[in-house]
Structure 1
């Protein structure tokens, strides 16, 4: 499972563009980090919401994939994000967790924290679908 997720993550050009990295992989939980860069900011100098959303979507997706059969792939069906504060930090830490895993759909919850994992920046609920390859 861990190797499959690492290989898939390595194919995501967006994650490479953002400089995101896999921090940890467990069954039902994945953590992804992204360090600050001026190229990832919005007009006030904070991380852009799109960066936080992208790494959180991937964290939830890979958490879902960790619960799926070996030959399955994952796609996002939908998500909702609430931003609780500006992403004024040197690193974003996105944690995706599976709430309920079914045959076809996997419901996930995700959170984005600051570099110390003390300040909650955003929360996501997401639905992922199993794609049989």
Structure 2
């Protein structure tokens, strides 16, 4: 797992969008990855909530990296499809996206993503994602 964790960390650093957002890799476990995003006014929509595009991006990346923990050697991951439900406005000091592998096949991996908004001690689930990731030979 240590080599895989390093591989995911090295890949995450190369993601320009995550860098632009100020997101960071929070944890890597077998079949689960968490990404943290601090609130930034530059990532909001017109009402001051975190933009759905930012919420979707961190959920997608968390699911992709969770899938990578299960991918065969010599493969990378790309998103094939996802569906996201915004459950409530994304209001918080920071946001944590958790990607979890539900089923890892030879070519496709299905993941569940959750995004939680955190303000002080309060945690609220703001989005749910279902994603299909593809193993791509590199």
TM-score, normalization by structure 1? 0.97
Out of 54, 63, 70, the position equivalent to 2:57 is: 54
TM-score, normalization by structure 2? 0.94
4+ long deviations beyond 4 Å: none
Name 1:5's counterpart in structure 2: 8
In 2, distance between residues paired with 1:71 and 1:12?
A: 19
**Secondary structure of the residue that 1:119 maps to in structure 2?**
strand
Q: How does 1:21-100 map to 2 (within 5 A)?
A: 21-100=24-103
RMSD: 0.9
- Any idea what the Cα deviations from partners look like across 1:24-55, whole Å, max 9, x if unmatched? 00010000010011101000011000001000
In 2, distance between residues paired with 1:69 and 1:107?
A: 15
* Stretch moving more, 113-122 or 103-112: 113-122
Equivalenced residue count is 133
Q: Tell me, which stretches of 5 or more residues in structure 1 are unaligned?
A: none
In 2, distance between residues paired with 1:93 and 1:70?
A: 28
